[in-house]
C-alpha cells in the first residue's frame, strides 16, 4: 500500500524498501516421491489443501503470503509483535497440518517450517514483461535453509528470531536444538525448535 500511495502510475524498476520482517518458509517433505507414486490430481488436491490452510492461518495472524513455492510458501510478518504472531501462527499450523495428514481424503502432508527475523529488502524484481514483489537478503536465505533441514511437522527458528519474541509465557514452547554452519556463512547459528 505504501508503494502504491507514493508511486502513482508506473512503479520504478528499482523500487525497494529496507524493513525489519519475520520470514516464514514452509515445504512439504517427500513431495517428489508423492509425485511419482500417485495420480497428479490427488497430489494437486493435497498440495492445494495444505497451502489453503496455511494461507488462511497466516492471514488470521496478520501475515501475508509473498509467494507459493510448489508445495510450500514464503510468508512475511511485519509491524509490531511480528515474531510473536508468526510463532503462534506456525505453532497452530503444526497442529492443523497434523490433522490434515490424518485425513484419509488426502495424501500424506508432511510439512516443515523455517523462521527468521531481521532486515530484508522488499521490492520489485523482474522486467517489463514480468515483475513481482519479493523479499531478499540473508534473513530470507537463512529461513529457507532452516526450512530445508526441518523434519516433518517441525519448525526451526534462529537465535535472531527467538531474541525478538519478548514473551516469557511462550518460553516453554520452544527449545534449543543445535548449532549449524550453513554453506556460505562464516559462523554457525543457534537453532531452536517449536515444541510440539
The CATH number that applies at residue 76 is 3.30.70.1230
Question: Helices (DSSP H) in the chain: which residue ranges?
Answer: 2-6, 31-37, 40-60, 82-102, 138-149, 159-163
41 assigned to some structural domain: yes
Give dist(CA 66, CA 88) in Å, integer. Answer: 19
69 assigned to some structural domain: yes
Domain count, the chain: 1
Mean pLDDT of 174-190: 86
13 assigned to some structural domain: no
Domain that holds residue 53: 18-194
9 assigned to some structural domain: no
Give dist(CA 170, CA 166) in Å, integer. Answer: 9
How does pLDDT run across 78-99, given as a tens digit for each residue? 998 999 999 999 999 999 999 9
52 assigned to some structural domain: yes
Q: Is 77 helix (H, G, I), strand (E, B) or coil?
A: strand
Task: Please give the pLDDT value at position 9.
Answer: 53
User: In the predicted model, is pLDDT for residue 56 greater than 60?
Assistant: yes
**72, 46 in Cβ contact below 8 A?**
no
114 assigned to some structural domain: yes
- Give the list of residues 6+ apart from residue 25 with CB closer than 8 angstroms, or none: 69, 72, 73, 74, 75, 113, 114, 115, 143, 144, 146, 147
User: In the predicted model, is pLDDT for residue 182 greater than 90?
Assistant: no
184 assigned to some structural domain: yes
2 assigned to some structural domain: no
- How far is C-alpha 13 from the chain's CA centre? 26
How does pLDDT run across 105-153, given as a tens digit for each residue? 898 889 999 999 999 988 777 777 777 778 889 999 999 999 999 999 9
Mean pLDDT of 1-23: 67
**155, 112 in Cβ contact below 8 A?**
yes
DSSP state of 20: E
Q: Is 189 helix (H, G, I), strand (E, B) or coil?
A: strand
Reading the block at residue 116, the C-alpha cell is: 527468521
Amino acid at each position: 500500500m505504501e508503494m502504491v500511495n507514493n508511486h502513482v502510475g508506473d512503479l520504478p524498476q528499482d523500487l525497494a524498501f529496507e524493513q525489519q520482517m519475520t520470514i516464514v518458509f514452509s515445504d512439504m517433505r517427500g513431495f517428489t516421491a508423492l509425485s511419482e507414486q500417485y495420480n497428479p490430481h490427488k497430489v494437486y488436491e493435497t498440495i492445494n489443501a495444505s497451502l489453503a490452510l496455511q494461507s488462511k492461518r497466516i492471514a488470521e495472524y496478520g501475515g501475508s503470503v509473498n509467494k507459493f513455492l510448489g508445495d510450500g510458501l514464503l510468508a512475511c510478518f511485519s509491524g509490531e509483535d511480528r515474531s510473536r504472531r508468526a510463532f503462534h501462527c506456525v505453532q497452530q499450523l503444526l497442529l492443523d497440518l497434523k490433522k490434515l495428514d490424518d485425513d484419509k481424503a488426502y495424501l500424506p502432508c508432511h510439512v516443515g517450517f523455517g523462521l527468521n527475523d531481521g532486515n530484508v529488502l522488499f521490492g520489485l524484481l523482474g522486467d517489463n514483461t514480468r515483475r513481482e514483489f519479493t523479499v531478499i537478503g540473508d534473513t530470507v536465505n537463512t529461513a529457507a535453509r532452516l526450512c530445508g533441514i526441518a523434519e516433518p511437522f517441525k519448525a526451526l527458528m534462529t537465535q535472531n528470531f527467538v531474541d525478538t519474541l519478548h514473551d516469557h509465557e511462550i518460553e516453554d514452547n520452544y527449545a534449543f536444538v543445535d548449532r549449524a554452519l550453513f554453506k556460505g556463512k562464516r559462523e554457525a547459528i543457534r537453532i531452536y525448535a517449536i515444541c510440539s
